Chains A and B, each alone.
Chain A
């Protein structure tokens, strides 16, 4: 689109405002994470980190002993974000792999095979998209508790491991859009449905599967309420839950902002890396998931 001179100036002002408003809070997080705790209070508006240090990361990752932690400006309390980082990675990976694979299998059946009640089952899946999470939350909590799965990885991952209605819906749409020719040729040559699924359908939809996997991973990584309910124990506690708990532990109710921002930076990092690597696909999928 061609723009007039004034319009072009306005456009650039808008771009700069959008970028600054979006990015500045991230910068401020990093700046605080790199500040010696004393400096956080002494220089609250300094643009560059006052008294720059990596000590906050060492503290929250539990790399230093209690005495060193105090000398770095912490409370001396043992914090080990390494465990929480590991837990987040384990749970999110479990959910991503399980949900993507099983949803793809179901979506392929809905898109390509004929079987009784196909429409009805798919319709039921779709209707679940409209049920608010809180309605299922309490009964699911009770189920996981009854199974004795509180504070276990499988307890946190279970509800999302075998499917999500959205994933089935998303992939079914994608399979429907694939050309049938290749699959039909393979059928004529005597290949079974299972082989066609693994050797034709999955390779052809690698992009869609990757996109869905990234979105699923980020969603699981960001989830808070469910892991808060069923995975509070330290050995399975996820980063989001850990940060929430850490926030309430400051001395005299003053949060340890420098430590908190270091923990926050750790929680942001993997998403940032994933997004830098696969960002374009995620962006393009948003138009797609929105309207088809």
Chain B
């Protein structure tokens, strides 16, 4: 830097010096910028880039933590195609998403409309967001207790009214929808807040115009609110489906994949393969396939939700 400052007084080489000075300033800015991003870059490379590449590599080996690993090519990928556990996980996960998302989205829109109708809804928003702020583990336990077959509140009450025993999490048929229900309870407020933020972006004069034209409340909702909400709903549905595909905590705390594999979703299957059977190669291969499925689902959804989109 000193060099550049001296050179300014010399008019003969001033022009070329100022070019050099510009280069030096740019160099200095690059150096400072590097200091600013270096810690984050180190974290990114160490815990995102390298693991992603390493995971891909491990998926082509037979590594099991105990014996030295050797490359096996596509053997893990070939194996999963004939593994009933893999197909079970795919089926269970898809069913879980189907139990979870449609109901959650419809309820979220309903709750968002209620929020929109409230003049001051801060308290309501705060209350309904609470479950989302709680650890999954806590939410799972809280509901396990209420849904307990022998002394849980719901079953005792149902029994007192002469109803049948509802096994909830301990029956293969009910466990998956029950877990979906628990997570709907947890995510409803968060999803509703996203939809609510979308509702707020619809200008009030659109509603005014509809009212003057004699549109009823129901008509306004289907013809105006919902179509204008479409981009927001698309975002909400895509992100919640991708999140729903990756459910783990609730299953790990409540059913551990049971009864009889009825809730063994992808993430739980991968967890078991890796950390109970130590089949690291196979587990990472399944995780890579899950990744591909998620990319596919995400792209497909965006295409479906954008198709026939009305220009506004």
A106 interface residue per 8 A CB criterion: yes
Give bound CA distance, A125 to B47, whole Å: 12
**Chain B interface SS verdict (over half):** helix
Interface size class of A (residues with CB under 8 A): 35 or more
- B138-171 CB mask vs A (1 if < 8 Å, else 0) is 1001110110100111001100100000000000
B280 interface residue per 8 A CB criterion: yes
- A225-B156 in contact (CB<8A): no
- A139-B193 in contact (CB<8A): no
Give bound CA distance, A115 to B35, whole Å: 12
Residues from 192 to 224 in A contacting B, C-beta threshold 8 Å? 192-194, 197, 218, 221-224
- B33-A109 in contact (CB<8A): yes
- B287-A194 in contact (CB<8A): no
A290 partner, pick from B55, B127, B194, B252, beta carbons under 8 A: B194
A-B contact pairs, 5 of them (CB 8 A): A22-B128, A143-B47, A165-B48, A224-B252, A287-B197
A132 partner, pick from B122, B124, B290, beta carbons under 8 A: B290
Closest Cβ of chain A to B69, distance in Å, is 11
Interface-central residue, A113, A137, A218, A267, by most chain B CB under 10 Å: A137
Which A residues are CB-close (under 8 A) to B128? 18-19, 22
A221's closest neighbor in chain B, by CB? Answer: B135
Give bound CA distance, A272 to B190, whole Å: 16
- B43-A161 in contact (CB<8A): yes
Interface size class of B (residues with CB under 8 A): 35 or more
- B197-A290 in contact (CB<8A): yes
Of A49-57, A59-67, A73-81, A256-264, which binds chain B? Answer: A256-264
- A121-B41 in contact (CB<8A): yes
Residues from 239 to 255 in B contacting A, C-beta threshold 8 Å? 242, 245-246, 248-249, 252-253
- A153-182 CB mask vs B (1 if < 8 Å, else 0) is 000001101110100100000000000000
Give bound CA distance, A114 to B22, whole Å: 13
Closest Cβ of chain B to A49, distance in Å, is 13
Which A residues are CB-close (under 8 A) to B43? 102, 159, 161-163
- A1-32 CB mask vs B (1 if < 8 Å, else 0) is 10100010001001100110111011011001
- B131-A41 in contact (CB<8A): no
A283 interface residue per 8 A CB criterion: yes
Give bound CA distance, A13 to B298, whole Å: 37
Which A residues are CB-close (under 8 A) to B127? 18-19, 22-23
A139-B185 contact, Cβ under 8 Å, with A106-B36, A132-B290, A286-B193: no
- A45-B157 in contact (CB<8A): yes
Residues from 111 to 145 in A contacting B, C-beta threshold 8 Å? 113-116, 118, 121, 124-125, 128, 130-143
A134-B246 contact, Cβ under 8 Å, with A25-B143, A40-B151, A162-B43: yes
B224 interface residue per 8 A CB criterion: no
The tally of CB-CB contacts under 8 A between chains A and B is 268
B246's closest neighbor in chain A, by CB? Answer: A132
A271 interface residue per 8 A CB criterion: yes
- A138-B274 in contact (CB<8A): yes
Since A44-B156, A240-B136 are in contact, a sample of 4 more A-B pairs with Cβ atoms closer than 8 Å, ordered by chain A residue number, is A44-B151, A134-B271, A243-B138, A282-B129
- A264-B189 in contact (CB<8A): no
Which A residues are CB-close (under 8 A) to B146? 25, 28
- A130-B295 in contact (CB<8A): yes
Interface-central residue, B55, B236, B295, by most chain A CB under 10 Å: B55
- A136-B47 in contact (CB<8A): yes
B23 interface residue per 8 A CB criterion: no
Give bound CA distance, A29 to B133, whole Å: 16
- A106-B267 in contact (CB<8A): no
Closest Cβ of chain A to B190, distance in Å, is 7
- A163-B39 in contact (CB<8A): yes
Residues from 236 to 278 in A contacting B, C-beta threshold 8 Å? 239-240, 243-244, 247, 257, 260-261, 264, 267-268, 271-272, 275
- B37-64 CB mask vs A (1 if < 8 Å, else 0) is 1011111101111111011001000000
B235 interface residue per 8 A CB criterion: yes
A28 partner, pick from B153, B232, B245, beta carbons under 8 A: B153
A283-B114 contact, Cβ under 8 Å, with A29-B145, A135-B288: no
B4 interface residue per 8 A CB criterion: no
- B234-278 CB mask vs A (1 if < 8 Å, else 0) is 011000001001101100110000000000001100110011000
Closest Cβ of chain A to B209, distance in Å, is 15
Which A residues are CB-close (under 8 A) to B197? 286-287, 290-291
B66 interface residue per 8 A CB criterion: no
Give bound CA distance, A87 to B305, whole Å: 44
A261-B145 contact, Cβ under 8 Å, with A22-B189, A268-B134: yes
- B40-A275 in contact (CB<8A): no
- B50-A128 in contact (CB<8A): no
Give bound CA distance, A224 to B190, whole Å: 20
Give bound CA distance, A119 to B48, whole Å: 18
Closest Cβ of chain A to B261, distance in Å, is 18
A138 partner, pick from B30, B50, B280, beta carbons under 8 A: B280
B26 interface residue per 8 A CB criterion: yes
Which B residues are CB-close (under 8 A) to A165? 44, 48
Which A residues are CB-close (under 8 A) to B130? 22-23, 26, 272, 275
